[in-house]
Every structure is written in C-alpha cells, then in structure tokens.
Amino acid sequence: MYTISVINQKGGVGKTVTTVNLAAALKEQGHEPIVIDYDPQMNATDWLLGREATDEDDTIFDALATLDGEDADAFSLAHIVRTSDAVGVDFVPSDRRMAAASFDSVVGRSAVFPQQFRHRVQELRTAQVSTNSVSSKNYDYCLVDCPPSLGRSIATALAGSDGIIVPIHADRFSMRGVSQLQKTIKQIRQVHNDGLRILGLLPNNLDLRSGMVANMKDKFQEVYDDILFDTFIRWRSKINEAATHGKNIMEYDTDAADFYRSLAEEVTERAQIATAA
C-alpha cells in the first residue's frame, strides 16, 4: 500500500477535492483506495459520509489516541473503516479533536506521536479489512486529506506517508509557500521518515483565460518542472458542485472527471517509480 498525504499549508487550494476525486478515479481504474480524513474541518468526512458525523462515528483520532491502550485493536483502521455510498470508496472519518490543541493535551508526547500514524498505516498494509459491503480487501493506495497547516499534525501524517501531493494555485504567494513546504519536508525526512517523496505539485483551479494565470503556469513550469504533474486541474463549476453536493465526480461530469483520470494515471506511474527507486 502506497500512502499519499495531500498537503498545503494554504487553505482552500483543493486538498479535499483532490483527495476525494483522485480516490474515485483510482477506484474506477481498478485500484482499491482508502481515504483518511486527517482534517478537523471534516470536509472529506461530510462528503463521503453523506451526512454530518456524530460522536458515535469512530474516527482517525480514536485510532491514534488508543494505540497504547486496551482498545488498540478495536480502533485499528481496519476496524473503523467505512464505505462511502456517495463516492464508492472506503474511508476513515475525522473529528474535531484532530485540531492541534487537543492533539497536544491528549497525546502529550511529541517524541512518540509522529510514529503513531505510521504504526496504524503499517497495520493496515497487512490487514484483511471487513466493511459493511465488502468482506475483505487489500488497499493499494491510502490518501490522507490534511488540514491547511504545517504544524504537528502534518508531521505525524508525513511520518507515515510514502509520498506527497501538493495542490497549488497559480499565484505568487503559492510559489513562496512551496519553498516553505520543501523546508518542512526536508526536516521530516531528516527526523522521521527518510523515504518521503514529493510525488508532485498539482496546479489546481486554473483559469487559463486569465493572462496572469497563464504566465504563472509558465513560471511554475520553469521553476518546478522536475516535480510538477503534467496534469493541471482547470477551474470547473462541476468540480465545486460535486464537492458541495457530495457526489462522485466520475459520474457527475465526464469532462471534469478526465482531469482526475489523467492524474490517477500519473500518480500510479510515479508511485511505482518511487517504490522501485
């Protein structure tokens, strides 16, 4: 199983849309993806669950917080995974306790915590998962929808990931954000996970009719050519609609779905190359 965190410290750049739509595209192409919502905003959870989560729903926070306790098995990812009726992929919900403040107070051991997500992901690699709809599965891609931050919770997600996808807007501030992000990734590699790779930067929300955006696209290609995906996601109202109404983009709009089909192909190709390297 190849684990990919979708990150960017900037809010609203398309992390959640990328995570969910990429999962739907991978599923369509015969893969078995699982989405983990790591964001206390719970946007992916609402989308995939088709309703607001309640306290009854088991979440990624439960999985992390119980790791050293008697309940460790009951809250393994394999036991709390669900299947999304809306999008047809499996997922693990998030909850509000994933916000940084509670992270510190509940777990309180920064030296250990980065390993906990990794441990849960490792378990999932070998687990035969039972869900409501499928008796047993082996996931091949795990996609982690991260909150807009570069703080502690991101460090834990990255410590357990093989690759990173970074959705970005084509503007000058986003370019600055990328160098900040590269610094963080370097630190994570040194301290927690030397296998972590940037799978790619994914320009999102492009409106090429705007001359400024077209210029920025060229600039991105010049500066980040080695890590840029060939796939660019254009601005499409249907992408926003599918997210807002909790739909599967593959069924909702063919034109928009094609962006994610192309991304899924690139991701699988790059993940294989990264694994072989």
Ligand X SMILES: Nc1ncnc2c1ncn2[C@@H]1O[C@H](COP(=O)(O)OP(=O)(O)OP(=O)(O)O)[C@@H](O)[C@H]1O
* Sites of contact with ligand X (CB under 6 A): 11-17, 39, 41, 43, 148, 204-205, 233, 235-236, 239-240, 243
- For residue 237, the one-letter residue type is S
Sort residue 51 into left (φ over 0), alpha (ψ -120 to 50) or beta: beta
Distance of closest approach, residue 12 Cβ to ligand X, in angstroms: 4
> According to the binding rule CB under 5 A, does residue 15 interact with Mg ion?
yes
- How far, in Å, are 156, 260, 262, 264, 273 from residue 230 at the CA level? 29, 12, 9, 11, 16
Please choose which of ligand X, Mg ion, none residue 17 contacts, taking the beta carbon within 5 to 8 angstroms, the exact cut-off set by kind: ligand X
Pairing mode, strands 163-168 and 197-203: parallel
Nearer to ligand X, 54 or 237 (CB): 237
Burial (Cβ within 10 Å: 0-12, 13-18, ≥19) of residue 262: middle
Spatial CB neighbours of 189, under 8 Å, sequence gap ≥ 6: 196
What are the φ/ψ torsions at residue 127 (nearest 5 degrees)? -70, 145
The residue among 129 and 170 lying less far from ligand X, judged by its C-beta, is 170
The least CB distance from residue 34 to ligand X, in Å, is 18
Residue 161 engages Mg ion in binding (rule: CB under 5 A)? no
Q: Among residue numbers 38 through 77, which ones bind Mg ion (CB under 5 A)?
A: 43
Pick 78 or 242: Cβ nearer ligand X: 242
Cα separation, 91 vs 36, whole angstroms: 6
Pick 144 or 233: Cβ nearer ligand X: 233
Choose the one of Mg ion, ligand X, none that binds residue 236, judging by a C-beta under 5 to 8 angstroms depending on kind.
Answer: ligand X
Q: Which is nearer to ligand X, 24 or 78 (CB)?
A: 24
Strand partners, 163: 4, 197
Which one of ligand X, Mg ion, none interacts with residue 205, CB within 5 to 8 A by kind? ligand X
Least CB distance from residue 30 to Mg ion, whole Å? 27
Q: Which does 248 bind (CB under 5 to 8 A by kind): ligand X, Mg ion, none?
A: none
Nearer to Mg ion, 6 or 127 (CB): 6
Q: Return residues touching Mg ion (CB under 5 A).
A: 15-16, 43
